[in-house]
Amino acid sequence: MVDLLLQKFSEVSFLSGMPSALLFVLAATLIALPLFMFVAVNALVAVYAERKISAFMQDRLGPMGQGVGLHAGKWGLLQTVADAIKLLIKEDIIPALADRKLFILAPFILFVGAFIVFVGIPFNQHILVADFNIGVFYIIAMSSIGVIGIIMAGYSSNNKWSLYGAMRSAAQIISYEIPLALSLITVIMLVGSLKMQDIIIAQHGLIWGILPNWFIFNNPFTFIAFFIFFISGVAEVNRTPFDLPEAESELVAGFHTEYSGMRWAFFFLAEYANMFIVAAMTSIIFLGGWQSPIPGFLNGPGWGLFWFFSKAGFLIFVMMWFRWTFPRLRTDQLMQMCWKYFLPFSLINLLGVGLWDLWLN
Amino acid sequence: MDYQEIVDYINRNFNELYSPDTGEEQAEFLRISPKDWKELAYFLRDDGNLVFDSMMCITGIDYGVEDENLGVAYNLHSMTHHHKFEVRIDVPKSKPMIPSVEKIWRIADWFEREVYDMYGITFEGHRDHRRILLPEDWEGFPLRKDYIFPETWHGIVVPKIKEEWE
Amino acid sequence: MGIETLTLDRSAIQGEEMVLNIGPQHPSTHGVLRLQVVTDGEIVTKITPYIGYLHRCFEKHCENVTYEQVIPFVDRCDYIASMNNNFGYAVAMEELMGIEVSEKVHYIRVIVAELNRIASHLLAIGTFGLDVGAFTPFLYCFRDRERILDLFELLCGARLLYNYIWVGGVSHDFPIGFVEKVYEFLDYFEPKIQEYNDLLTFNKIFIERTADVGVLPADVAISYGVSGPNLRGSGVKWDLRKNEPYSIYNKFDFDIPIGTGAMGTVGGCWDRYYVRIRELEESVKITRQALDQIPREGDVHAALPKKIRPPKGHVYSRTETPRGDLGFYIISDGKPKPFRLKLRSPAFTALSCINEIARGWMIADVIAILGSLDIVLGEIDR
Amino acid sequence: MYTNFGTVFIFVIIGIILVAFPLLLQRILAPSRKTPDKLTTYECGEDAVGGAWIQFNIRFYVVALIFIIFDVEVILLFPWAVVYKELGLFAFVEMMIFLAILSVGLIYIWRKGDLDWVKYSVPYGRGRYKKLKIVPKQVPAVVAEIGDRGSTIVDVTTS
């Protein structure tokens, strides 16, 4: 994308005299701003969706408004906007006993950590900010920066609940990273590349003439790997039933108990950004990304966006579905699930995929 | 066993120590003195024919401003034999001391603390003898009939209600 | 009575002990309760409950008002099950005064008490789900509880504090069409119990979180005076409606569900929870029978003077509320005001055992155990 | 000319600016009326007993260690997976031997019980210790008659 923009810039006369480094910065900025907008809008839409989905699951209407006067717009569409404004004009409180530097730094790390992951995500055939040759690895690496922000937030608040939240989060996120990466490796073995676009293109076509050649259907082991990957991803972003770091009935609000106003809003934005990342990654790696389910059908760049967002959107819906139907696990159960079930299973998966591949070739 | 049988049974085992209450209240309870209470409590709980394994309630009573006694009523129930019994202990206001049965029936722990909280009766041998409902630094025992309501507490003025509650 | 002391395996490396306040301002203390817990990492080693934040001097109030005026105060003790509290007080007063109420009053009282038991258990189930992190069952329960509150609103104009059951009767008769509406509600409600089971009771995560957790053995429960569903959850078949029938409960055919340890040890949180679910069915059964048999004619007030003056004497009477044995110890000196009125609260006794059963567990479990005991702070603090 | 990581670097800077901007906006728009009570740490409405910066027993030292081992292993697996198709059977066998060695370590830790969260015991019931020896407690005859008392007391000596 950056190269594309730079090419475009060279055609514009008044820009041609500028130093190339400046042009590069300009190009990257021009991409970063819409991407930031996308992250913000994603959170707005997701929060609204979460409200409505939870409401319909719970036999109620959710945010609604009608008639004249101050209200949340038709069907409560403006509810999240009102929330954002409320957060913006809320008093910003840093506890007197907190570690100020870390306290201020934490939302930056958490949010920026989530934001730069978007650099590596292909939205369709062309929209991909930077096509790394280690794409998948980059995303795995960058998405675990967030945990540092969480630990920082929890520790710096000097609040016992926050400390619990941070400690739980540390144990949880590092643990679930291993099954996540191991199930990712099964796919990389089959593709032989770490590039995101290569992984998507490898899923082109049909198997047995009916099913799309997505990795979820490729063989029984990748089928299991899909579930391990997705569930570990849900655990990575602290959603119910794995929302222990912010379990509101136990830890009040967990690691962000002391945060308020805009600082808290960035934790919130990061959470929804991370949710989107997990859903996007799952759909890219196992569900064919922007590929249409039927090869050659509705396959243009616009349709690519459509397929990508509908797959990711469905997975986000599933995450919300989890949240509003399941109780929460306990810390030890959570850890046991990772180390005693997911880890052995993903190791066996690795073995299985290797054998399957050797046997077929 | 009904009330009379229980009293007779206790008297047989305790050498006719206790006599049923013969006051003007037509009440079915056994009035004993504090010094006998612990021994009787163990007997009531552990004897095979009584087995009062459940303590239903402990109630503190102030007999009035003129009366010099405070009372404590213990309502017992047997989950095995389905019979009930009531023991009442009177102690003088000048020295309100009763042996604690907190180790015999665990629920007596909180009930005794509540009685202490409201009437100032001390339960000897209670392992956690504190106020329970009122703040630790509260003065006086509110359910006594001669309790005078405080004007302020920690600088908070108690609103005075002028009219009679009726 | 076996009260075992907890021994800790201190071979694991110890951190510093941390003193943590759960409450009074905490999402899942069901009111303003404060648990001061000593924790070692996530493990709770000691719990000290501090109560009294909601103390309203109920007993002192009662000594200053007449016997009839006590009823609104009783309402405010267990504000989740006001009908049952009114019922308990009325039964105690009628025993003290030796009066008999008419057949119809008995039926009306049983119907409203059982409806309120359903409402109260729904709240208990819902908030317990909330405590272990399931949000949706809570709203499902509130949806159905709302219907009962609507019925009560139709009946006496109030939705929470009813002041409906009076000494010697009830405040007024059923309005026209009320019986049919209750039938309608029962038909609606019975299939919903299955919905809760599907959503929460047999959820694998829920079972993992609650079965085997916070086990309360029967002997410990009796020693702690725990009663009601909590005691039955420990496997003791004890229900005052059956064992010491008051009012007309001996006319109805119903079971006493007890904890069987179907998912873990007998007396775990899951058993206490499931007893409540099963009691919903039993309450529906009782209500149906009462509706079938209720006499159409009859007066709902006993012939009582305007100011009640019970004879000198005392009474200890107890009834079964959704939380357990609600006892009233009333001493009368022949005047229109009670000389002494003590309310023995079931939630008070249930809470007192929390240190016994919840230490050694994690913070998350302490919250779950607290939820499974179904306490109402209004009644504990009085 | 400019690498992809250059883009990431610019994204980091822009991200920081975009986070800082609303915070500055909030400083302008939002009221600021601090009081000492408002600035206290939240402790459920009570005065905090001691701070939160203590030696905290997370009980996961061993797990933290295995995590590092497995994470390094995962890093090693990534390049292996990329070239797996080209190297075929040889690479597969070699890596499986490596994984088997690591798995032995996992099994060892598992058997030692370090994957279990705690070694604490609870007063009643088996709790988390499904495998512990259960010592049937002497049930008082009284209670045995009341109802089926199924719960047992755990022998706290962990095996």
Instruction: List, for residues C111-120, the tens digit of each pLDDT value.
Output: 999 999 999 9
Tens digit of pLDDT for each residue in A37-51? 888 888 888 888 888
Handedness of CA C34, C40, C41, C44 (dihedral sign): negative
For residues C346 and C88, give the distance between their C-alpha atoms in angstroms, rounded to a whole number.
12
Count up the domains in chain D and report the number: 2
Percent of chain A with pLDDT over 70: 95
Is there a domain that residue D126 lies in?
A: yes
Alpha-carbon span C118 to C127, nearest angstrom: 14
Residue D45: inside a domain: no
Distances in Å between the Cα of C72 and the Cα atoms of B12, C11, C67 are 47, 55, 11
> Is D33 an interface residue toward A (CB < 8 Å)?
yes
**Euclidean distance between CA atoms A204 and A223, whole angstroms:** 17
Residues of chain B neighbouring D146 (CB-CB closer than 8 A): 79-80
Are B6 and B18 in contact by the 8 Å Cβ rule? The answer is no
What's the token pair of residue C43?
A: 């493990």
Domain extent, residue D8, equals 2-32
Please tell me the distance in Å from C289's CA to the nearest CA on chain B: 27
Is D44's Cβ below 8 Å from some Cβ in C?
yes
Q: Give the domain extent around B136.
A: 3-165
- C255: its two tokens: 């079971």
Q: Measure the CA–CA gap between D42 and A164, rounded to whole angstroms.
A: 14
Residue at D15 is within a domain? yes
The alpha-carbon gap from D145 to the nearest alpha carbon of chain B, in Å, equals 7
| Nearest CA-CA partner of C138 in A75, A252, A57 | A57
D146–B51 C-beta distance less than 8 A: no
Nearest to residue A238, comparing CAs of A318, A176, A156, A160? A176
Report pLDDT for C9: 44
**Among D43, D49, D151, beta carbon nearest to C267:** D151
Q: How far apart are CA B54 and CA C238, in angstroms?
A: 12
pLDDT grade for A67, boundaries at 50, 70 and 90: low
Closest CA to A232 of A190, A172, A308: A172
Those chains having 3 or more beta-carbon pairs within 8 angstroms of chain C are A, B, D
Q: Which of A165-179, A217-231, C241-255, D115-129 has the lowest mean pLDDT?
A: D115-129
Chain C residue with the nearest C-alpha to that of D153: C4
Q: What is the mean pLDDT of residues B79-107?
A: 84
Which whole-number Å values give the CA distances from C114 to C28, C32, C80, C221, C289, in the listed order?
Answer: 26, 27, 13, 25, 11
Residue pair B40/B10 in contact (Cβ under 8 Å)? The answer is yes
CB distance from D145 to chain B under 8 Å?
Answer: yes
| Average of per-residue pLDDT across C18-33 | 81
**What is the structure's pLDDT at A260?**
84
Distance CA A173, CA A120 (A): 21
Average pLDDT (C303-332) is: 84
In DSSP terms, B32 is beta-bridged to: B89
Overall average pLDDT of the A206-223 stretch: 81
Using an 8 Å CB-CB cutoff, list chain B residues near C224: 106-107
Supply A114's token pair: 């989530």
Type of residue at D141:
A
Task: Identify the chains in contact with D, defined as 3+ C-beta pairs within 8 A.
Answer: A, B, C
Q: Are the C-beta atoms of residues C186 and C115 closer than 8 Å to each other?
A: no
Query: Given pLDDT bands bounded at 50, 70 and 90, which one contains residue D61?
Result: low
On whether any CB of chain B is under 8 Å from the CB of D146, the answer is: yes
Min Cα distance C220 → chain B (Å) is 8
User: Identity (one letter) of the amino acid at C52?
Assistant: G
Q: Which of B103-117, C229-243, C285-299, D112-126 has the lowest mean pLDDT?
A: D112-126
Q: Structurally, how many domains does chain B consist of?
A: 1
More confident position, A243 or C16? A243
Nearest CA in chain B to D143: B80
Range A140-152 average pLDDT: 85
Lowest mean pLDDT among C165-169, C258-262, D153-157: D153-157
Q: Do C22 and D58 touch (CB under 8 A)?
A: no
SS3 state at C196: helix
pLDDT number for residue D149: 36
Mean pLDDT confidence for B81-90: 83
D63/A175 CB distance under 8 A: yes
**B64 or C86, which is more confident:** C86
Residue C15: pLDDT band (50, 70, 90) is low
A228-258: per-residue pLDDT in tens?
999 998 888 888 788 887 777 788 878 888 8
- What per-residue confidence (pLDDT) applies to B147? 83
- Can you give the pLDDT at residue D48? 67
Q: Is chain C in touch with chain B: ≥3 Cβ pairs within 8 A? A: yes
Smallest Cβ–Cβ distance between C364 and the set A250, A323, A325 belongs to A250
CATH of the domain at B133: 3.30.460.80
Question: What pLDDT is attached to residue B17?
Answer: 63
Q: pLDDT by residue (tens digit) across B3-18?
A: 777 777 777 777 666 6
Average pLDDT, chain B: 80
Which residue, chain included where needed, has tokens 């006998």?
B36
**CB neighbour burial string for C211-241, b if at least 16 within 10 angstroms, e if fewer:** bbbbbbbbbbbbbbbbbbbbbbbbbbebbbb
Average pLDDT in the C53-64 region?
Answer: 85
pLDDT of residue B66: 82
Question: Where is pLDDT greater, at D144 or A6?
Answer: A6
Residue B128, number of CB atoms within 10 A of its CB:
11
Interchain pair A159, D6: CB under 8 A: no
* DSSP per position, A110-132: HHHHHHGGGGG---SSS--S---
CB A24 within 8 A of CB D2: yes
- The predicted pLDDT at position A135 comes to 81
Ramachandran sector of residue C43 (left: φ over 0; alpha: ψ -120 to 50; beta: rest): beta
For the ranges A124-138, C142-156, D131-145, the one whose mean pLDDT is highest: C142-156
Tell me how many helices (H) and strands (E) chain C has: 15, 8
B75: tokens are: 């309502």
| Tokens coding C256 | 């006493």
Q: What is the pLDDT of residue A93?
A: 84
C-alpha distances out from residue C78 to C123, C170, C345, C368, Å: 13, 19, 9, 21
Q: Which residue of C has its CA nearest to B133?
A: C52
Query: Which helix (H) or strand (E) element contains residue B74?
Result: strand B69-77
pLDDT of amino acid C97: 84
> What pLDDT score was predicted for residue D126?
55
Token couple for C120:
């109260």
Rounded Cα distance between C56 and C50, Å, is: 16
Q: Take residue D129 and report the two structure tokens written for it.
A: 């210790």
Pure H helices in C98-200: 103-131, 136-156, 178-196
Q: What is the ipTM of this complex?
A: 0.82
D24 inside domain? yes
Beta-sheet strands, E only, within chain A: 206-207, 211-212
pLDDT of residue A132: 78
Give, to the nearest 10 degrees, the angle between helix A261-286 and helix D4-29: 150
Compute the distance between CA of residue D30 and CA of residue A86 in angstroms, rounded to an integer: 10
Would you list the DSSP string of D69-113? HHHHHHHHHHHHHHTHHHHTHHHHHHHHHHHHHHHHHHHHHHHHT
- Of A173, A172, A164, the C-alpha closest to A143 is A173
pTM recorded for the entire structure: 0.85
SS (H, E, C) A97-111: CCCHHHHHHHHHHHH
D76 part of a folded domain:
no
* Cα radius of gyration rounded to whole Å, chain A: 22
**Bridge partner list, C236:** D147
Contacts of B82 in chain C (CB under 8 A): 243-244
Question: In C, which residues are within 8 Å of D138 by CB distance?
Answer: 2
Task: For residue range A101-120, list pLDDT tens digits in order.
Answer: 888 888 889 888 888 888 88
CA nearest to A244, candidates C377, C205, B95, D133: C205
Q: C139 and A59: CB-CB below 8 Å?
A: yes
Q: How do C18-22 and C340-344 pair as beta strands?
A: unpaired
Q: Which fold has domain C17-381?
A: Cytochrome-c3 Hydrogenase; chain B (1.10.645)
Mean pLDDT of chain A, nearest integer: 83
Candidate from C57, C244, C313 with C-beta closest to B142:
C57
**What is the distance, to the nearest Å, from the Cα of residue A12 to the centroid of all Cα atoms in its chain?**
36
Chains A, C: CB pairs < 8 Å: 77
Other CB atoms within a 10 A radius of the CB of residue D126 amount to 21
List the single range of A334-348, B67-81, C197-211, D130-144 with lowest mean pLDDT: D130-144
Alpha helices in D4-157 (DSSP H): 4-29, 61-82, 84-87, 89-112, 141-146
